[in-house]
Structure 1
Amino acid sequence: MDPILEVVALILGFLSWIMVGVAIPNRYWKVSTIDGTVITTSTIYENLWMSCATDSTGVHNCREFPSMLALSGYIQASRALMIAAVVSGSFGVVCTLIGMQCSKAAGDNYVLKGRIAGTGGVFFLLQGLCTMVSASWYAFNITQDFFNPIYPGQKYEIGEGLYMSWASGTLAICGGACLMFSCKFGTEEKSGYPYQPSRGTVYSASASRKDVQSTYGRNAYV
């Protein structure tokens, strides 16, 4: 396994894990486009856990969603996927740290280290897929309501929390792919063995002369 590729994959996976942890509590997953006055509300924004409002004077007021079962299905699924992404990223970081060549956790068994690092790459891929599906599903519902001319409720636009989630998913997928490809290249490089001639194919000069004499007879030599 290439150690440089390991370090790059670890950095990408760790950054993606940090970003998904920051994106979950971010309040700006979807933002309204209302421009109000001092009396009316100017901005409404929501995430997976709460809904907030702020007026033109800068006063913020947030309330958590009262019941999880009363929420829309895509919000519940997005919550579960984001939590699964955080858990998968945690396992990915731990497995990658153990499986790196510079780590002493698994001793000098580089085959075992390569497998552990490859497992970390799988966890990073799972993190990226969960994050991308969650953010894309949430954004799909926002755009569907926004472009629906007969939608009676408040229309929202995509907030910065979704962009952060997409960036986190992209980094996680890149880090997991680097780990898996590095493990593959490492096994291919170690698959060849140096050529060692067999002892049975070595003949001495006297043995070869006896074979020639027995085949052609003594009269073949002058």
Structure 2
Amino acid sequence: MANSALEIVGLILTLIGLIGAAASTGMPMWRVTAFIGENIIVFESRFEGLWMNCFRQANIRMQCKAYDSLLALPPDLQAARGLMCCALALSGLGLLISLLGLQCTSCIVNNDRVKRLVLIIAGTMIMMACICVLIPVSWTGHVIIRDFYNPLLLDAQRRELGEALYIGWVASAFLFAGGCMFICCNMQSEDKDSERYVYLKTPEYRTYPPQPLQPQQLVRLPQPQPQFEPALSRHPSTNYSYYSSYPSVHSGVAYL
């Protein structure tokens, strides 16, 4: 019952992490214009994302434009695109696979070991998705902080951390928690429920190599001699093959 509740909690955390990763991938607020100076009146803001650039002026709606060429993008942005797409695919597949292994579902009947194995595989995929989200978000944050303190750049070229980066970090935390619940809970139940027989090697333990079969000599057993049964005859006979407790006729004549 406890494992079933933890599995549902892990499923909810994974779903929240998947939604956060999808939102972070689509949002253009990865790099935000840094306003440095004494003038507090802001007329224009610029946002840079994975797929487009956006501009927003005072009292005007946001206008966005997609990137014209993928090869013209910096390396960190190209890697971030691929890793975020991989994260979405892995977390989505892990979420679907975990539905097959939940104890409250009847997809796999009467086989708890297979259910646990399915959940461990789903948890591993979710952990990989967490890593795929964490790498581009942290890499982009490192580049932004490095360029912000670069004295060779102008103030107009400096950028700040956008909302999409914070959402990505939170989403990776949710994915990490969901994957850990799927993996750790099922590994503990596997060790608890499985019955394993361990053979201890004591000092008296010896291994005997297999011996080849040797041809055995045939031995002839002695056959018992047939015993003759006394036969009935009309003629009297003095030879008897068995002892009788009654006196015979010849013995009575001899006694007389």
Taking structure 1 as the reference length, the TM-score comes to 0.81
- 2:66 equivalent in structure 1: 64
- 1:10 equivalent in structure 2: 11
- 2:167 equivalent in structure 1: 164
Pairwise CA distance, 1:105: 1.0
SS at structure 2 position matched to 1:28: coil
CA distance in 2, matches of 1:168, 1:119: 20
Pairwise CA distance, 1:122: 0.4
CA distance in 2, matches of 1:108, 1:167: 37
CA distance in 1, matches of 2:33, 2:93: 36
Runs of 5+ unmatched residues, structure 1? 194-222
User: Does 1:177 pair with 2:185?
Assistant: no
Does the 8 Å CA contact 1:37/1:56 hold for their aligned counterparts? no
CA distance in 1, matches of 2:120, 2:162: 34
Pairwise CA distance, 1:59: 3.5
User: Does 1:137 pair with 2:139?
Assistant: yes
Does the 8 Å CA contact 1:121/1:179 hold for their aligned counterparts? yes
CA distance in 2, matches of 1:175, 1:2: 13
- 1:90 equivalent in structure 2: 92
CA distance in 1, matches of 2:104, 2:20: 26
Pairwise CA distance, 1:41: 4.7
Moved over 6 A (4+): 35-38
- 1:21 equivalent in structure 2: 22
- 1:49 equivalent in structure 2: 51
Pairwise CA distance, 1:23: 1.3
Query: Letter of the aligned partner of 2:23 in structure 1?
Result: V
Identity of counterpart residues, as a percentage? 27
- 1:126 equivalent in structure 2: 128
Q: Deviations over 1:176-196 (max 9, x none)?
A: 011110111111111348xxx
Of stretches 71-80 and 180-189 in structure 1, the one that deviates more from structure 2 is: 180-189
SS at structure 2 position matched to 1:2: helix
CA distance in 2, matches of 1:41, 1:63: 19
Of stretches 51-60 and 132-141 in structure 1, the one that deviates more from structure 2 is: 51-60
Query: Letter of the aligned partner of 2:91 in structure 1?
Result: G
Taking structure 2 as the reference length, the TM-score comes to 0.71
SS at structure 2 position matched to 1:53: strand
Query: Letter of the aligned partner of 1:86 in structure 2?
Result: L
Does the 8 Å CA contact 1:8/1:175 hold for their aligned counterparts? yes
- 2:105 equivalent in structure 1: 103
- 2:119 equivalent in structure 1: 117
SS at structure 2 position matched to 1:157: strand
SS at structure 2 position matched to 1:63: strand
SS at structure 2 position matched to 1:70: coil
Does the 8 Å CA contact 1:12/1:171 hold for their aligned counterparts? yes
CA distance in 2, matches of 1:176, 1:34: 39
Pairwise CA distance, 1:37: 9.5
Kindly name which structure, 1 or 2, has the bigger radius of gyration based on alpha carbons: 2
CA distance in 2, matches of 1:108, 1:94: 20
Q: How many residues align?
A: 192
- Name which of 187, 190, 198 aligns with 1:187: 190
SS at structure 1 position matched to 2:55: strand
Query: Letter of the aligned partner of 1:61 in structure 2?
Result: Q
CA distance in 1, matches of 2:63, 2:141: 24
Runs of 5+ unmatched residues, structure 2? 197-256
- 2:148 equivalent in structure 1: 146
